[in-house]
Copies of this chain bind each other. A is one copy, B any other.
Amino acid sequence: MSNSEAPYERFTAAARELADLGHAESLLHWDQETCMPRRGSGPRARSLGTLAGLVHERLTAPDLVELVESLDGEGLSGDARVNVRELKRHQDRALRIPRELVVELTRTESLAHEAWVEAREKSEFVLFQPWLEKIVDLKRQEAHAVGFTGSVYNALLDHFEPHARVEEIEPLLGELRRRLVPLVEEILGSEAAAQREDLLEREYDVALQESFGRRVLADLGFDMEAGRLDVSVHPFCSGSHPGDVRLTTRYAAGQLTSALFGIIHEAGHGLYEQGLPAEAEGLPVGGSVSLGIHESQSRTWENAVGRSREFWEHYLPHLAECFPAQLEGVGVDRFYAFVNRVERSLIRVEADEMTYDLHILLRFELEKALIEGELDVGDLPGVWNERMDSYLGIRPGSDAEGVLQDIHWSMGLIGYFPTYTLGNLYGAQFHRRACADLGDLPGQIRRGEFSGLLGWMRENIHSRGSRLTASELVQEVTGEPLRVDYLMEYLEGKYRPLYGLD
């Protein structure tokens, strides 16, 4: 940093340098999942490690710490205030976690991940247990180093959902569980549920799936001059800046809709990234709010739009042109029911819109209990299985189908899961507001017009960057704090008729 510049200009130069390094990290990660040849992995990991080390070094450099401290005390306003606030949040966290703990976490997560892979293959939780115990212990140390008020879990949650507090979200998530469990039970006990069939187990040419997916992607408003669509084992969205946003999906010839809904889901993330304020590119204010707000976008486009009756009124004829033999005689009613079938499933990533949150709530409750010391790792499989039974009426036959199914804990991602359900809650509340503002949104979707909804998202959410926190944003956009009612009303309104309930 040259000291001849004004303090805030020195600050933005440092922030932009961090963004430039983040851009490189992001591209190296994207390439690793999409393009990198097999033998490239060793040096790639080292290069990513070096970049992460440099980011840490620059972020915590004494002169930047001093600069942020002095700017923070100056009472800045507007974007400058947000930029300093957000960078300071990252800086504080980086400064507080001792280097030895970072090294120990990185090392443990890498070994725990290997142990998890083996444990899942053999379906033996005991192989993973000592590693998860160590992870829980280290994450508690991390939380204490970072600092918190209230629950120790807050320090971990804040990393993924900034400014969220367990004392505020737990009552909402508890209410959601109490209202969702009986609805799911009612649906799954219905006559219609007993008759559901998987009518689409046929072969669907992958190249045709891809061209149909690209057509939908363009219709939704995703700008291919500022993005890409590729293939990876696990679908994701990687955005360095609004001009370069990359989505991935995966195709399987035996499945008609999984790649497509993957594309629409990632497009939700990607539209958000493309809509972030270009004028603030490279500065914290130009970033997204939180994982939860990100997920509100992907879930809304995937479910409220992509799994709506109107969407398929528009697209089913086009899909049937791609696959005339396979879809012969399949009408909108049948197709709509198919893409919205509710099932007692063991595996979260395969769960439907109705049961998905129960999978998440279970994980949130268990990881919180682990971190707060109210649950021993050794008791985890039993509690998992009991709770699956009580929430979904189904019991895993093995650890692989139960407690070992997710990668998150093996990578030290504790505090991440609730952002999925927060995303559904934010999404339903935004969607309700958008419907009110836009008038006939269903009619627009029926005509294949998505610019109304996208414009609404751009104006109310995307273009704001990270100027507001998640709860400020919800209040500002919808006029009230986050509530469970909108998600429940959406689910009741959609699924009761589908399953022939009152």
Contact = CB atoms under 8 A, between A and B. Distances in A.
Interface of A: 16-17, 20-21, 23-24, 27-28, 31, 35-44, 46-47, 49-51, 54, 223-228, 240-244, 281-282
B244 A36 contact: yes
A244 B21 contact: no
A273 to B, nearest CB: 12
A143 to B, nearest CB: 28
Contacts of A36: 244
Contacts of A224: 37
The 4 closest A-B pairs by CB, nearest first: A40-B244, A39-B243, A20-B50, A39-B226
A228 B39 CA distance: 11
Max count, chain B CB within 10 A of own CB: residue among A27, A46, A224: A27
29 contacts: A16-B46, A17-B50, A20-B47, A20-B51, A21-B50, A23-B47, A24-B28, A24-B47, A24-B51, A27-B28, A27-B31, A31-B31, A35-B35, A36-B244, A37-B225, A37-B227, A37-B228, A38-B225, A38-B226, A39-B223, A39-B226, A39-B244, A40-B226, A40-B240, A41-B243, A43-B241, A43-B243, A43-B244, A43-B282
Nearest to A240: B43
Nearest to A227: B37
A151 B31 CA distance: 44
A287 to B, nearest CB: 13
A20 B43 CA distance: 8
A50 B16 CA distance: 9
A197 to B, nearest CB: 39
A228 B51 contact: no
Given A31-B31, A50-B17, A54-B54, A23 B44 contact: yes
A169 B305 CA distance: 69
A140 to B, nearest CB: 29
Say what secondary structure dominates the interface of chain A: helix
A394 to B, nearest CB: 42
Contacts of A54: 54
B39 A225 contact: yes
Contacts of A42: 243
A20 B37 contact: no
A226 B43 contact: no
A319 to B, nearest CB: 26
Nearest to A20: B50
Contacts of A240: 40, 43, 47
A432 to B, nearest CB: 33
Contact of A243 (B24, B35, B37, B51): B37
A159 B49 CA distance: 30
Nearest to A46: B20
A243 B40 CA distance: 5
A224 B36 CA distance: 10
A278 to B, nearest CB: 10
B282 A35 contact: no
Contacts of A46: 16, 20, 282
Nearest to A36: B244
A40 B242 CA distance: 8
A496 to B, nearest CB: 43
A224 B35 CA distance: 12
Nearest to A38: B225
Nearest to A228: B37
Of A47, A49, A227, A281, the most chain B CB neighbours within 10 A belong to A47
A227 B226 CA distance: 27
Given A16-B50, A39-B226, 13 more contacts: A17-B50, A20-B43, A20-B50, A20-B51, A23-B43, A31-B31, A36-B244, A39-B225, A39-B243, A40-B243, A41-B243, A43-B240, A43-B281
A2 B36 CA distance: 32
A244 B23 contact: no
A281 to B, nearest CB: 6
A42 to B, nearest CB: 7
A40 B273 CA distance: 13
A228 B37 CA distance: 7
Contacts of A41: 243
Contacts of A21: 47, 50-51
A79 to B, nearest CB: 18
A420 to B, nearest CB: 28
Nearest to A230: B35
Nearest to A223: B39
Contacts of A43: 20, 23, 240-241, 243-244, 281-282
A95 B370 CA distance: 55
A490 B46 CA distance: 45
Contacts of A23: 43-44, 47
